[in-house]
Amino acid sequence: MNDTLPIGTTTVADVPVWRVEREGSPLAVVDILVAGAGHAAAPDRNPAVPLLAAALIDAGTERRDRAAVRRALLDATAEVGAETQDTWFHLHVSAPASSIGTAVDLAAEALREFAPAKEDFGREKAALVESRHRAMAEAGGRADALYRATAGSGTPAGIPVPPPPETVAAVRYGDVVGFVRPLLRRLRLHVVTVHPPGCGARIDDALARMLAVAPHGRRHRPAPMPPFREIVAAWHDGHDPQCAMAFGGPGIPATDDGRAAWSMVLDVLGGHHLESRLTRALRVERGLTYGVALVAKGWRARMDWRGGAVLRAGTAKLAMDTVRGVIERLPDDLGPADVVAARTRLTAAWEEATVSNTALATLLCRSVRLGDAPQSVATLPRRLCEVDLDRMREQAARLAAMPVSFVFAGDVGEPFARRGDRGDAGTGATAASGATERES
Amino acid sequence: MEWSPMERMLPPMRETRLGNGVRVVTVHCASRRARHMVAVGAGAVDDPPGLDGLAHYVEHLMFRGSPGLEDGAYDRLVRELGGRFNAFTTEDQTVYYADLPLSALPRIVEIETARLRGLAAPDAEALVERDVVMEERHQRIDGDPEAVLHERMQLALFAGHPRGHLTIGSPETIARFDGGKARAFHAEHYVPGNVAVVVSGAVDHEEVVELASRTYGTLPAGGREGPRPVPAARPPERITLRGRAKGEERTVTVCFPTPPADPCVEVLAVVLGDDTFGPLWRDLVERRRVAVSVHAAAAIPARGSGELWITLVPATGVDGEDALAALDEALARIANGGLDRETVDLVRRRMLVDLSHSLDDHRNVATPLARYVALGGTAEGYRGCIADMYTAPHARIVDLAARVLRQPRVAGILEGGEVGA
């Protein structure tokens, strides 16, 4: 199997750097990850602060206004962007090898001297409020919000992620500036870079300039995971043409020995392909939905899994029973062909993710967030090969024994509609009806 | 800035036409995985009367069985090759793609050749897939008031024209689909002269042509040569439609028909949607503060007519009607020579940056190329279009803006609360 990805490790200004230097693409990619600063880590308990910070990251510094920042990026053929993922804030820099040093310098300025115009802040906030209104107007958005609020999966207790519009509207300009400027010195950092040969020293020099400005390394305390709550809830809206289903369960720790087998079980159950058990049961055989897929959330302590589907109106109960049945039968239902199929699919996905420098950097960043060893990305195909049917059945039995939560929104149909029909889109999680609840 | 000339930024492309009319195009790059694409010159504009969405339904059924491939076999075979696959249908073309190891190319061309021979989904399964398409329609359109409004705008923009419906079709037309209608569509449009095969990766053109000759080359010649001609659309009537949002979301959108194959339409769309240097951004967002964001998109290349769509989100306290009036004014100024050279040059530099970054992944080259050649274009023509986007004289962009934006527009206002007819 392919263990040939040359993942090197070093440090720059005491910050760990994972590096892949390889021929092929002329694009150099540098990702700076900041622990404890993502939207689910919610500084000031407002997840909209890092979301707005990410959206405004190239919107102005003390030296340059928005247009000047973007002209400087054009001159360097560079892109600088940011996103928040769970407990991490993620700064992404890319440019051709010849100008990657300049691009990293610009990214450093964007963080240290972060000063967007107040008008830009106001516009970005209004746009985020609008997008949250839009999300909540859709059954899928309501199901997602209600799932997070009730099951608690992937969200530290008490913090509403994604934030409702009023939470976004409450953010002040100073909150965002006060959040971004100390990012490079306040929290734990990690760098991932994938680049063509010949520009490593340029990147390291720029990183040294970026990171040497102030002490860092304050001990990072991972956000406490909330207990997973087993729940069935519905938010009925008879005007909606469909019913959205959000479902999921608690996962295993990233350090668990069975992680490779666990990921193969999730792939067989609900991977993003037409062969998954759930796709066969809900789409191919019954035509209830256009698509159903699962994802494992990247939490180190507990990699919860989440699924979603938008279903034919009135079929919530049928879909829930179908999903439960598939999960319950899975340990006995798995066969040798499933082992080979899952291994092949996940290996193909891994190969796809290593094709471009951008995608490879993304893969490495995920491993950083999960606390993996650097070589774990390179050895994934080999670890998949070590999984046999018994190990998969073991993990499938583990999954089947765990709680599964379901939340529905839209035209849910009986019995949920009968038990709590509101007849409109409702206003919040209090509209949940027909709920059963158990903490685990 | 160290720019190579545009033509040299793109990877090498070569093209060969097989005896039966199938065109084979390769894009050479260093990737050890290949993207294999079958691009068919058939899309929603080819939907028969009363069967809007049939081309898209055929795309679904291509995964539910073909001669020699039972339902589910395609998924299994591509997976066994270490591949991943998907497909998409647009107004103008349908494209099937698989990403797999280079060593899998000999097998994937055999499998895709079988799929071009016909549809073989049993009628009962074809009806289940019709249900899936109906749910896709509900998910993408019916549950989203903005999508419903845009569907009405599309109808108004292209009234009486083959583009005058959504790719997915309407609930009424979807309900009429069955396996027989899909098979007839496949037989008419999935013919060698209307198919292009595009392969990117570390491939040798001659070897790919050799593989294609032994597989695609055995399909019986005959049928149409290239996509069915589609007439140009007439300018629409100026109209404003209104949609009622479910919640508090608000947008204002206008759309115009465009020339079908002028790459400068893409430049115009990027200029109009640019969120730093664009004239709409500077005027409506920064100066007059009637909007908080502006987006624009073009559908190019197209058959008959292309499309330009511009959407803004009104600022808090700004009425949708007022935002539309401001947008109309701004577009009228741009149509009357208000597009300065510096703005266009800045935006084209941004496009160059985007292009150079997209070359990190060969699939970003292969996919738009497949859409282009599906309409009968050549690899050389595609390269010329890309070069044209970045080198076309400023006066040509200004002239295009005048021709497109002086036409009557179709507008849509999405707001909450009570809405008139």
| Residue B190 to residue B112: CA distance in whole angstroms | 12
| Residue A344 to residue A334: CA distance in whole angstroms | 16
- Judged by CB atoms closer than 8 Å, whether chains meet at A348 and B246 is answered as no
E strand segments, A164-228 = 189-195
Q: Which residue of B has its CA nearest to A67?
A: B276
**Residue A305 — φ and ψ, nearest 5°?**
-115, 145
- Judged by CB atoms closer than 8 Å, whether chains meet at B79 and A165 is answered as no
ipTM above 0.95, yes or no: no
Q: Residue B421 pLDDT more than 70?
A: no
* Shortest Cα distance, chain A CAs vs residue B17, angstroms: 29
B250 touches chain A (CB under 8 A): yes
Nearest-CA neighbor of A409 among A192, A157, A238?
Answer: A238
Q: State pLDDT tens for residues B260-269.
A: 999 999 999 9
Work out the percent of chain B whose per-residue pLDDT is above 70.
Answer: 97
- Amino acid at position A431, single letter: A
pLDDT of residue A158: 60
Confidence of residue B309 (pLDDT cuts 50, 70, 90): very high
Work out the percent of chain B whose per-residue pLDDT is above 90.
Answer: 90
CA angle A204, A71, B301 (to 5 degrees): 105
Q: How many residues does chain B have?
A: 421
- Amino acid at position B138, single letter: H
- Please answer whether residues B286 and B276 qualify as being in contact, where contact means their C-beta atoms are separated by less than 8 angstroms: no
A286 touches chain B (CB under 8 A): yes
Pairing between strand B33-40 and B195-201?
Answer: antiparallel
pLDDT of residue A154: 59
Instruction: Write out residues in chain A with pLDDT < 70, as ranges.
Output: 1-3, 43, 152-160, 186-187, 213-224, 298, 418-440
- Judged by CB atoms closer than 8 Å, whether chains meet at A348 and B313 is answered as no
B266 touches chain A (CB under 8 A): no
pLDDT of residue A415: 86
pLDDT of residue B230: 96
- B240, containing H or E segment: strand B239-244
Instruction: State the DSSP string of B296-352.
Output: EEEE-S-SS-EEEEEEEEEPTT--HHHHHHHHHHHHHHHHTT---HHHHHHHHHHHH
> Which residue has 């028909």 as its token pair?
B257
Longest dimension (CA), chain A: 67
B2 touches chain A (CB under 8 A): yes
| Residue A147 to residue A8: CA distance in whole angstroms | 40
Instruction: State the DSSP string of A106-144.
Output: HHHHHHHTB---HHHHHHHHHHHHHHHHHHHHSHHHHHH
Q: State pLDDT tens for residues A69-86.
A: 999 999 999 999 999 887
Bridge partners, residue B95, by sequence: B39, B88
Output the six-digit token pair for A186. 């306040």
Q: Residue B1 pLDDT more than 80?
A: no
* Shortest Cα distance, chain A CAs vs residue B2, angstroms: 8
Pairing between strand A405-410 and A229-236?
Answer: parallel
Q: State pLDDT tens for residues B373-397.
A: 999 999 999 999 999 998 999 999 9
**Residue A215 CB coordination number (10 Å):** 10
Across the interface, of A76, A286, A358, the residue whose CB is closest to B360 is A358
Q: State pLDDT tens for residues B65-85.
A: 999 999 889 999 999 999 999
Contacts of residue B305, defined as CB under 8 A and 6 or more positions apart, other chains included, come to B158, B161, B163, B230, B232, B233, B257, B258, B259, B260
